Amino acid sequence: PLKAFIFDLDGVITESAEYHYLAWKALAEELDISFTREFNEELKGISRMDSLDKILTRGGRMNDFTQEEKDSLATKKNEHYRTFIKKITPDDVLPGIEPLLAEIRSRGLKIGLASVSKNAADVMNSLRLTEEFDVIVDAATISKSKPDPEIFLTAARLLNVAPSECIGVEDAAAGVTSIKGAGMFAVGVGSAETLAEADLIYANTSLLSYEEILAEFEKRT
């Protein structure tokens, strides 16, 4: 039986994925590395340092910086990102998310968050959603970034449910891979092309339907 939903944060609960995109794009362009939305898809769900490495590799500049310089590039991106998230309010919860959380809660199911972002706690507080979640697993709790299944497995363990009893919700290809690697049912939010591995895909959060997700979950498990 279904016992829990585990959500990604950036790009699922709120539009902060766009802020990561803008902040990385500014940094990449400063380094004369081209940055496209298509390439940005490869960064979604990936930790800060792994994202920087991917950008430097793309620009053929992997060996141009010392570790210390890389740390300061990552800090610069994060400071830029934080100027965006400072403005987040409860009005920035994406459409469809609050009704879905309420529905999940009314069925007596558990709710978890699985985000590799070190800013996840701040974003959740700004959205005033922290109390709505039974567990929040972020960068502080895990050692491996998505696409590794560790983060979704950790959330399930802390919720005291089996992975097969969980539904994971993600906007990133790496995130869907993490959910499937954990042995969970995956709901993707975004393009069917990028999220092909998901069990069920919605173009955006306003289309999420508890009844439909439940029906698909019961069909496939």
Q: Which residues are annotated as a binding site?
A: 8-10, 24, 43-48, 51, 77, 115-119, 146, 170-171
Q: Which helix (H) or strand (E) holds 21?
A: helix 16-30
**Cβ neighbours of 49 (radius 10 Å):** 14
Q: Is 122 a catalytic residue?
A: no
Q: What contacts 70, CB < 8 A, 6 or more positions away?
A: 49, 52, 56
Size of the site for ligand G6P (CB under 6 A): 18
Q: Is 8 a catalytic residue?
A: yes
- Does the footprint of ligand G6P cover residue 78 (CB under 6 A)? yes
Nearest to 23 by CA among 50, 48, 56: 48
Q: Where are the alpha helices (DSSP H) in 60-202?
A: 67-85, 97-106, 120-127, 150-159, 173-181
The residue (of 19 and 30) whose beta carbon lies closer to Mg ion is 19
Rule CB under 5 A: which residues touch Mg ion?
A: 8, 10-11, 171-172
20 binds, options ligand G6P, Mg ion, none, Cβ within 5 to 8 A by partner type: ligand G6P
149 binds, options Mg ion, ligand G6P, none, Cβ within 5 to 8 A by partner type: none
Q: Which stretch, 116-124, 150-158, 161-169, 190-198, contacts ligand G6P (CB under 6 A)? A: 116-124
Nearest to 213 by CA among 152, 166, 173, 144: 166
Residues forming contacts to ligand G6P in the complex (CB under 6 A) are 10, 17, 20, 43-48, 51, 78, 115-119, 139, 172
